[in-house]
Amino acid sequence: MKRSTITLAVMTAALPLAACGSSTEPANNTATVAATGNVMSADALGTKIRDLPEGQRRGVLFRAIRDAGPSGASCQSVTAMKEAAPVNGNPSWNAVCDNSTQWTIVLTADQSASVTGPGPVTIK
């Protein structure tokens, strides 16, 4: 089982959304977002990922798989994804790479992800 830091990927995916604010907002909004991300629970992180647009959620799961080690490096794209049942109370997703291998990504309280795979594809 490999661990991957996922908070940075979520925050990076959310930055374009933060840039859509009005021009009267303080210029340091992104620094504030990144600083407050350090206290996010696994459930809060799971909610943020769940609430992302599909393309950004796909990107976050892809980044977690690619960061998981040499076997994840072969993943070229997440072609399917589905939220799975919590693992030990932590939010989790199943993601399919290149229509050929399935990975399980479990978010943890230390704002990282446990990534397991590759395995046979079982989600449709």
Q: What pLDDT is recorded for position 59?
A: 95
Task: Report if residue 124 sits inside a domain.
Answer: no
User: In this predicted structure, what is the pLDDT of residue 112?
Assistant: 84
Burial 56-89 (b: 16+ CB within 10 A, else e): bbbbbbbbbbbbbeeebeebeebeebeeeeeeee
Count of structural domains, the chain: 1
Q: Which residues of the chain have pLDDT under 50?
A: 1-2, 5, 7-8, 11-12, 14-37
- Give the pLDDT confidence score for residue 124 in this predicted structure: 67
The reported pLDDT for the residue numbered 24 is 37
pTM over 0.85: no
Contact 92, 102 (CB under 8 A): no
- Tell me what pLDDT residue 29 has: 28
Whether 73 is covered by a domain: the verdict is yes
Residue among 40, 49, 113 nearest 81 (CA): 49
| 15 within a domain of the structure (yes/no) | yes
User: Is residue 69 one of the residues assigned to a domain?
Assistant: yes
Q: What is the pLDDT of residue 71?
A: 86
What confidence score (pLDDT) does residue 35 get?
A: 37
What pLDDT does residue 77 have?
Answer: 94
Structural domain range at position 56: 2-119
Give dist(CA 36, CA 26) in Å, integer.
16
DSSP state of 109: T
